[in-house]
Structure 1
């Protein structure tokens, strides 16, 4: 249900506004500037109807309301039909201008367009770059039996409004498929907002999720709308939910149960109708046993659980995915590369892909950049040689200097691949300092196109 404030609306219009909006909104009527000020301070509204008897007093009031609540749409209702008054009202911040008396249909159309406009603005403000989203389940590459089962379940889940928990290793496509679920749900016309809880410092994550009021903390120089508010009416994807602190888990549980929250530094209760899709690569029951994740929150988000299999479990998907990424990067990079050599295809099939789809995409992108021929060769795939089980012959060997160097380089390449080419993480995996690893990377001439200095 939307919340709507109707200020100074003539009583003869009450019936029309109720007939138009009573089934989907809670409408509050108020009169007098003091009463209006109290409503604006104490409550949060999705929409405000503002009636003005004349432009001399109505437009300054409109500007004051817009300044106080810059993110709340205001529809101005006036008795004047002069074009200059309408233009001035829109310039002053009104979403629309209606001429009194207003019909039921006009109330319905104006309200619907305003909410659509607000949702679009929120989504545009959030989207800083083009998202990789497949809008139809039929377009998802899923030839393996396991992925076919996953997609069949997600298609059913998309039609509901229940919370989904997607689990699986890093790089298996959790974020990617969350978008497909949203755009095949009844909320597809509303915002789809994504946030990675692991990428934001703990002290900023609360503000990122719920927003903050101006002056809530030192650097809060203006009001900020949080992700839950941006996603109102739509879907919020919480990636890496297992990284959220226990304190913030409590607040998140309240939002999921009561669908309301307060901005940081504020006391207004904000209602947000949001469908949540959560994802994690952690074992949440194990986290619960360690006291790192709330059991009640787990049960609240685990309504519709789904596990994405590792890429090595999707053998039938492997080569189609490789060809998909080749076509994608060849097009975006203007490359003439069209396919893979037989040896490359064999290497792709046999490799275990610890970094899953993300590693495959990065590998193909690098190969497309490096390849000068029309077919990608094994040399440009640069896949590390996986170590098989060793057999002790009982005779000690003394490898030469060159083999030791090769083994060291191979070890570093393995670690970098498994850590998706993030040097800091690879250094931790190898048990060396980032500076020491950087020295070795330079020594062996190891490069990657995603590293800043190679862009």
Structure 2
């Protein structure tokens, strides 16, 4: 196994062979050429981890060769080596992008040191670029996606409230993306360079949640063997996201209310008052107004956290977003799982549109991940879908039973979903021929095409 490939360009045969011997012993695969012109040819024919070139060569000299390399591939690492070293030559080479400059006669230790530094630099640079790319992919993957009318309202609210420090209460069923909304608000705000600290109040036992939020002093209780900083302190300057706040005990609600009102608290067992500059965003899948009426949630805390309410619609009410989200997840998991699933067929998309999605976006995401893992190649068809989705009656979209939440429904979105179902059915019955589909719907062809475009219906359905 080699450490990498190196190209050596030098018109002096003894120097070429000496360099080749040194580098081969170090585990590198080495190709040698006797001038810059041959170097350019070799550079174009193969990829090298490092290029070592003499400064003075016939036909194309080292500086011209360096200039060509850097223009073609700015990331390529080049070491200059010459028996005619001058300060000006070294400065020129470094300004043009050379990594290092070594004088002849060639010394083993200097060559090894310079080459190893160059290779390690390249590895660190590539690893850093890869980490940045992975981070960007994760950030892009965790962006909220949606074009339905109900989601446009959510995005509009996010834009308006991001740079305010007012408390936000995000409501919605499990799996609708409440934490994503909290993060979107944070990263659009002036606090974006400070931390956002999430706490799932329903996932932490009640006797531990207080210490998790406020921290404790050494000896405050059995097992408190050292001081511990709580989540409120960790969020200093940034945002704390209290998910499932409806599960918080009444006694803890009182203490959280004080933090919201006064922006200060004491650690458990401590006497020092700690001041915090934080924004508080909360979320719940419960009906907190009912919880207040039933005396399970403090009324004063409810009004403090509900300054800006954001209600996330369930996926079943975001019909026009299902196809977009499914394709988004397909692209992501294709890359993550190193697969090349070509597409989700229009028929399969139609079944996804019919399904009720009780687990919302999280359920859709998990489904697409499973399908990508299980599928070796080709496309995801209806036959690949779980039976519960395959067997969902077509009436579930638009014309089926409409579930009204306490906040009502989005009329325009439901009408769009019904319209989309009618168009998809007509296209299926007509074999995808636009003229026939238009006749089935008593529309002219131009109107049909306009509706297909407006509703983002996959082109695969039409001829």
Provide TM-score, normalisation by structure 2.
0.54
For the pair 1:255 / 2:259, whether they are aligned, the reply is yes
Structure 2 matches for 1:279-428, cutoff 5 A?
Answer: 279-385=283-389
Cα distance, 1:358–1:243 mapped onto 2, change above 3 Å: same
Seen in structure 2, the aligned counterparts of structure 1 residues 131 and 307 have a Cα distance that, compared at 3 Å, is farther
Which segments of 5 or more consecutive residues in structure 1 lack a partner in the other structure?
1-128, 391-455
User: 1 CA distance for matches of 2:236 and 2:139?
Assistant: 22
Distance 2:351 2:393 in 1: 15
Q: Distance in 2 between matches of 1:208 and 1:185?
A: 25
Report the counterpart of residue 199 of structure 1 in structure 2.
Answer: 203
Distance change >3 Å, CA 240–CA 183, structure 1 → 2? same
> In 2, Cα distance between the equivalents of 1:136 and 1:374?
23
Task: Tell me the matched-pair count.
Answer: 261
CA apart distance, 1:318 = 0.8
Distance 1:193 1:255, change over 3 A: same
Kindly indicate whether residue 237 of structure 2 is the aligned counterpart of residue 233 of structure 1. yes
Decide whether the 8 Å contact of 2:315 with 2:361 is kept in 1.
Answer: yes
Alpha-carbon distance in 1 for matches of 2:384, 2:225: 50
Summarize deviations over 1:399-448 as a string: whole Å, max 9, x none: xxxxxxxxxxxxxxxxxxxxxxxxxxxxxxxxxxxxxxxxxxxxxxxxxx
Distance in 2 between the 1:136 and 1:329 partners? Answer: 10
Aligned to 1:243: 247
* Displacement after TM superposition at 1:380 (Å): 3.0
Distance 1:387 1:331 in 2: 30
Instruction: Mark the CA change 1:151 to 1:246 in structure 2 (over 3 Å): closer, same or farther.
Output: same
Q: With structure 1 as the length reference, what TM-score do the two structures score?
A: 0.55
Contact 1:240 1:279 in 2 (8 A): yes
Q: Distance in 2 between matches of 1:383 and 1:171?
A: 21
Asked if 2 retains the 8 angstrom alpha-carbon contact of 1:197 and 1:238, the reply is: yes
Residue number among 145, 151, 169 corresponding to 2:149 in the alignment: 145
Deviation of 1:136 after TM superposition, in Å, equals 12
Query: Counterparts of 2:291 and 2:137 in 1: how far apart (Å)?
Result: 31
8 Å contact from structure 2 (residues 170, 284) kept in 1: yes
Equivalent residues of 2:215, 2:267 under 8 A apart: yes
Distance in 2, matches of 1:240 and 1:132, equals 28
Q: In the aligned structure 1, how far is the partner of 2:204 from the partner of 2:218?
A: 20
| 4+ long deviations beyond 4 Å | 129-137, 385-390
CA RMSD of aligned residues (A): 2.4
Q: Decide whether aligned partners of structure 1 residues 383 and 160 sit closer, same or farther in structure 2, where only a CA change above 3 A counts.
A: farther
1:161 is aligned to: 165
Can you list the C-alpha shifts for 1:281-328, whole angstroms capped at 9, x where unaligned? 000010011111000000000001110111111111111100111111
* Gapped regions of structure 2 (runs ≥ 5): 1-133, 396-463
Q: Paired residue for 1:265? A: 269
Tell me, in whole angstroms, the C-alpha distance in 1 between the residues paired with 2:311 and 2:157: 10
Q: Classify the secondary structure of the residue corresponding to 1:340.
A: coil
Asked if structure 1 preserves the Cα contact closer than 8 Å seen for 2:316 and 2:360, the reply is: yes
